[in-house]
Amino acid sequence: MGATWTRRRWLCAGAPGLAILASSACGRSPTDSPEVAAGPEPAVPEIAPLPQLHIQVPQHTGPRGYAGEAALAMVLAADGQVVKAADVFDHSGIDPTLGRGCTPAELQQAGLDMGYSGNLLQVQEDREDALAQIVATLQTQRPVLLEVEVEPNLAFADPRPRAAWVVITGTREQNLIFHDPGNTDGIDREVAAAELLTPGKHYLPIQKTRSPTLRKSEADHRPFAFSRRIRRLRQEVAPHGLHVTMEEPFVVVGDAPPEQLQRYSTRIVRWAVDLLRKAYFRRDPQALVEIWLLGDDTSYRHWAETRWGDPPDTPYGYYDPAAEVLVMNISTGGGTLVHELVHPFIATNFPRCPKWFDEGLASLYEQSAERDGQIVGLTNWRLAGLQEAIAAGTLPTFHTLCHTANRFYSDDPGTNYAQARYLCYWLQQAGLLHRFYHAFVAAVGEDPSGYKTLQSILGTRNMTGFQARWEREVMQLRYPA
């Protein structure tokens, strides 16, 4: 069939399906300004009638910026594979921090990795070779991926593509029939071949070379999710001088230069995440949480108020589970960041965790170090107030602390955080903290407060005697040590 397009006539009269091209490429209206008529525009090739072909390909939509991935997913779906744009992206090997979809060459590589081959070709000025290849491929019941020009602000009924890649599924007269990942109605589009084929753009005839091989990412947050979030955030915050990167399982945003932001990510976030995973957490946070590291109090308060409408009530930083964000004034140090990192891990790994232990464990690591490959909490500023309450005899019992439930904050006499922290500190020093955590996770259905599990780990039911011992030992602690 390729011989059908070996010779072309060039014209300035609209062949069927080419009315738009003819009017724009040929004679000007009397109102055209002579200043803009700098010379003849490229002529439009006449497209001889194409054979009527059509193959069945399921239609997928794809997120903006990832049309190539969605287009290739349609091809695999036509072969009975359960594939989405995310799977294609994951096979491409693109660094998610680039915050973009596949280039044509990366899309070709993703196809190869999944068991599909195809020569990546470019549309030439006369469109002849491209049309011949499209027809030949369709006649083998295989579709063709085509890179296209995208016009902004198209009317709803306009058949032209809304996404940068489409899947050619048929030909008729002078037209190409295609699926557009940018449309959600599932309806075939049909546009003049000479208009859809743009010289310099790529096309990729697809052939299956082996049984498809699909790798599903084992990470809770796939590379595709990171890439999309980073792309969106960069569009939103780059004009304001902020930078975006990732430190699994988090996306990191900050107003520091990129090199410094990366150092924060590596030295604080990666360090803490690696050690917390090792000690406690088998799963990463279910939500894709953003960490905002802001360089001073002014920037911290500005972004907290303007982006989330939430004037902070702490100068250090906070975790907002509803917004899925940690917002930090990093100029105050990294301790609060490590504290807040614990909360999204607890939310996923121990969703029934009572507040006293959630805050106690998080507070333990706001002053921390690494010892023998383990994260350890150190004494910190909370010690002084705790020792004052012990000396005054006003500290609640551990039974009271463990049964505060959601009243941990409202019924706090000013010592709940410190008492919970230094209980965790004592368990750590006795080599019992990890055991307590895992035993509590297992027993929370029968022991929602953790009090019985605490007694079991301590090996005593005499909690009055234990608290007296604990208080004596706490009074011997010093900060700085």
Region 139-149: mean pLDDT is: 96
If you compute the radius of gyration of the chain from its CA atoms, what whole number of angstroms results?
Answer: 31
The pLDDT tens digits for 240-254 are 999 999 999 999 999
Residue 159: band (very low, low, confident or very high) from pLDDT cuts 50, 70, 90: very high
pLDDT above 50 (res 77): yes
Looking at residue 123, its pLDDT comes to 97
Q: Residue 192's closest CA among 205, 206, 175?
A: 175
Domain 49-208 CATH class label: alpha beta
Task: Say if residues 294 and 255 touch (Cβ distance below 8 Å).
Answer: yes
Q: How confident is the model at residue 41 (pLDDT cuts 50, 70, 90)?
A: low
* The domains spanning 49-208 and 218-349 adopt the same CATH topology: no
Rounded to two decimals, what is the model's pTM?
0.85
Q: Is the pLDDT of residue 15 over 50?
A: no
Half-sphere exposure of residue 107: CA atoms within 13 angstroms, side-chain side:
32
Are 55 and 211 contacting, i.e. CB atoms less than 8 angstroms apart?
Answer: no
Q: Using one digit for the tens of pLDDT, what is the confidence trace for 293-310? A: 999 999 999 999 999 998
Mean pLDDT of the chain: 89
pLDDT exceeds cutoff 50 at 365: yes
CATH class of this structure's domain 218-349: alpha beta
Between 28 and 135, the higher pLDDT residue: 135
> Among 200-209, 230-239, 248-257, 423-432, whose mean pLDDT is lowest?
200-209
- Better-predicted residue by pLDDT, 27 or 252: 252
Residue 375 · residue 276 · CB < 8 Å: yes
**pLDDT for the residue numbered 18:** 31
Is 50 exceeded by the pLDDT of residue 315?
yes
Residue scoring higher pLDDT (9 or 420): 420
Q: Where are the domains of the chain?
A: 49-208, 218-349, 350-481
Q: What is the SS3 string spanning 353-406?
A: CCHHHHHHHHHHCCCEEEECCEEEECCCCHHHHHHHHHHHCCCCCHHHHHCCHH
Residue 267 in this model has a pLDDT that exceeds 50: yes
pLDDT of residue 47: 77
- What per-residue confidence (pLDDT) applies to 45? 66
Question: What's the CA gap between 303 and 320, in Å, rounded?
Answer: 14
